């Protein structure tokens, strides 16, 4: 009997009906016919970007104002640059001995419920004193600067199951709903060097380009272990990038806000979907949401699908312009083993620098982060435009009938010992 070659659906049956996805897909497919596509890849090519920008400016006929109804300048605590935080204590909360004792007490209370670590909540993981500091950090993430770091956990002090419950317990005070980060339904992604976990001698790639994760309102990253060289986390405010583009190249904001960017679903059906990268919601908050990998592929790890639309010249320039503008205003946040960092993924861009892995202290082997996608359903998440409501629903509201939850507290490995699942966006 012939094997079933029908591509698996990207959206569950319930979401297709709820958001009328099939009708949207047909409309978008017709709109993409006949487009010319730009030569752009995952790696940043500044020379190619500058040449493209010069050619488009020379050709002229570009909008000279921001999109109608959009502000000429954004203001507020999310507008910051590389000089805004001279002291990391502004965004780092370091656990005290009393906090650590409270975490152990919360862990003991949680264990009385006889639940696995994935079931931790604020109710089952009580932090009466530390929780007040985490509430302040939550407000900073959603209504303040957009990021915060909890520091002071030592991963070697706890069995892995307990450690997982502790960092999930802390994160539940920022947001309690956790999302599925891939088609498989993985709830925890282990961000590691691709390839064999015994290969720790060569440098890993170049610096990653700026992006957001797709999709979540808060990105949480637990630092299980560090590379001895490189791998720092770098942040930039998309609101500051917006102001820069509004003042220098407002035409690119029109491109970023247009709902015609083709996102690759990598062999699923529909083969691609289209939406904007920037939105202004009803509360006049700028939301930025894109993965460069889903737009251009990532050779050789995940080449872009051949049968879907590519980027236009305007889109290619705009995508690179966001990266280079972010580089002008970025901050490099220092990382320590055991850090738990929270990032407003609607308002901030992030990247990481290249790193080199060698066996580290306490048996830790190189850079290893655990990623969690969080949604605050208690009034903190920003008002989402329609296309993003569909994206959020796929991650946070899928009923599990077609994508079951998988909680891998350690990386999955092949029979030969190599890492078989190391992360990526929600694909």
Which burial class, exposed, middle or buried, applies to 323 when counting CB atoms under 10 A from its CB (0-12, 13-18, 19+)?
A: buried
Q: Taking a C-beta distance cutoff of 8 angstroms, is the pair 375, 175 a contact?
A: yes
Secondary structure class of 201 (helix, strand, coil)? coil
Domain that residue 314 falls in? 9-427
At 285-301, the pLDDT tens digits run 999 999 999 999 988 88
Q: Report the run of H or E that residue 278 belongs to, with start and end.
A: strand 278-280
In degrees rounded to 5, what are phi and psi of residue 383?
-65, 120
Lookup: tokens for 344:
């407003």
Lookup: tokens for 237:
């405010």
Please indicate, yes or no, if residue 364 is contained in any of the structural domains. yes
Please indicate, yes or no, if residue 330 is contained in any of the structural domains. yes
Query: Which among 103, 222, 120, 213 has a CA at the least distance from the CA of 175?
Result: 120
Query: What's the CA gap between 242 and 318, in Å, rounded?
Result: 11
Query: What's the CA gap between 105 and 103, in Å, rounded?
Result: 5
Report pLDDT for 5: 65
Into how many domains does the chain fold? 1
- Cα–Cα–Cα angle for 50, 52, 56, rounded to 5 degrees: 115
Please indicate, yes or no, if residue 1 is contained in any of the structural domains. no
pTM, whole model, 2 decimals?
Answer: 0.91
Query: Which among 25, 43, 53, 50 has a CA at the least distance from the CA of 296?
Result: 43
Please indicate, yes or no, if residue 2 is contained in any of the structural domains. no
Report pLDDT for 421: 40
| DSSP letters for 314-325 | HHHHHHHHHHHH
Please indicate, yes or no, if residue 3 is contained in any of the structural domains. no
Percent of the chain with pLDDT over 70: 85
Report pLDDT for 25: 53
Which burial class, exposed, middle or buried, applies to 222 when counting CB atoms under 10 A from its CB (0-12, 13-18, 19+)?
A: buried
- For residue 112, give the CATH number of its domain: 3.60.130.10
Report pLDDT for 30: 43
Report pLDDT for 197: 42
Secondary structure class of 49 (helix, strand, coil)? helix
- Cα–Cα–Cα angle for 194, 235, 201, rounded to 5 degrees: 30
Report pLDDT for 283: 97
Q: Taking a C-beta distance cutoff of 8 angstroms, is the pair 8, 16 a contact?
A: no
Contacts of 390 (CB under 8 A, 6+ apart): 11, 15, 19, 21
- Cα–Cα–Cα angle for 71, 293, 413, rounded to 5 degrees: 135
Lookup: tokens for 69:
């109804």
Per-residue pLDDT tens listing for the chain (427 residues)? 445 567 888 998 888 888 888 765 544 444 444 557 999 999 999 999 999 999 999 999 999 999 999 999 999 999 999 999 999 999 999 999 999 999 999 999 999 999 999 999 999 999 999 999 999 999 999 999 999 999 999 999 999 999 999 999 999 999 999 999 998 999 999 987 655 443 333 335 566 899 999 899 999 999 998 877 667 889 999 999 999 999 999 999 999 999 999 999 999 999 999 999 999 999 999 999 999 999 999 888 889 998 899 999 999 999 999 999 999 999 999 999 999 999 999 999 999 886 766 654 444 567 889 999 999 999 999 999 999 999 999 999 987 777 899 999 998 764 334 443 444 444 3
């Amino acid at each position: 009997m012939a094997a079933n070659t029908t591509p698996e659906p990207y959206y569950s049956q319930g979401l297709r009906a709820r958001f009328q996805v099939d009708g949207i897909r047909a409309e978008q497919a017709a709109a993409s016919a006949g487009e010319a596509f730009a030569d752009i890849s995952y790696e940043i090519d500044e020379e190619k970007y500058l040449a493209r920008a010069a050619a488009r400016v020379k050709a002229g006929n570009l909008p000279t104002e921001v999109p109608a109804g959009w502000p000429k300048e954004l203001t507020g605590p999310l507008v910051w640059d590389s000089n805004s935080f001279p002291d990391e204590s502004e965004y780092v909360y370091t656990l005290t001995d009393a906090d650590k004792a409270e975490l152990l007490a919360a862990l003991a209370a949680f264990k009385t419920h006889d639940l696995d670590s994935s079931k931790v909540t604020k109710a089952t993981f009580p932090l009466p004193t530390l929780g007040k500091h985490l509430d302040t950090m939550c407000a900073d993430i959603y209504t303040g600067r957009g990021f915060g770091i909890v520091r002071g956990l030592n991963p070697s002090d706890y069995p892995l199951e307990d450690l997982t419950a502790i960092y999930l317990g802390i994160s539940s005070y920022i947001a309690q709903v956790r999302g599925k980060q891939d088609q498989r339904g993985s709830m925890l992604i282990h961000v590691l060097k691709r390839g064999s976990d015994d290969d720790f001698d060569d440098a890993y790639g170049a610096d990653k380009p700026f992006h957001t994760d797709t999709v979540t309102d808060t990105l949480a990253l637990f630092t299980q272990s560090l590379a001895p060289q490189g791998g720092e986390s770098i942040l930039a405010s998309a609101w500051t990038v917006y102001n820069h583009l509004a003042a220098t190249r407002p035409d690119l904001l029109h491109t970023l806000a247009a709902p015609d960017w083709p996102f690759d679903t990598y062999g699923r059906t529909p083969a691609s979907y289209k939406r904007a990268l920037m939105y202004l919601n009803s509360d006049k908050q700028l939301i930025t949401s894109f993965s460069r990998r889903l737009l251009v592929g990532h050779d050789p790890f995940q080449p872009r699908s051949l049968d879907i639309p590519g980027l236009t010249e305007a889109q290619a320039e705009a995508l690179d312009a966001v990266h280079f503008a972010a580089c002008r205003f970025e901050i490099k946040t220092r990382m320590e083993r055991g850090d738990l960092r929270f990032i407003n993924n609607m308002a901030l861009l992030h990247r990481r620098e290249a790193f080199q892995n060698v066996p580290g202290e306490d048996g830790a082997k190189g850079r290893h982060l655990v990623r969690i996608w969080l949604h605050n359903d208690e009034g903190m998440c920003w008002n989402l435009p329609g296309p993003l409501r569909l994206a959020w629903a796929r991650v946070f509201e899928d009923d599990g009938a077609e994508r079951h939850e998988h909680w891998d507290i350690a990386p999955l490995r092949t029979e030969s010992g190599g890492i078989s699942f190391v992360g990526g966006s929600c694909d």
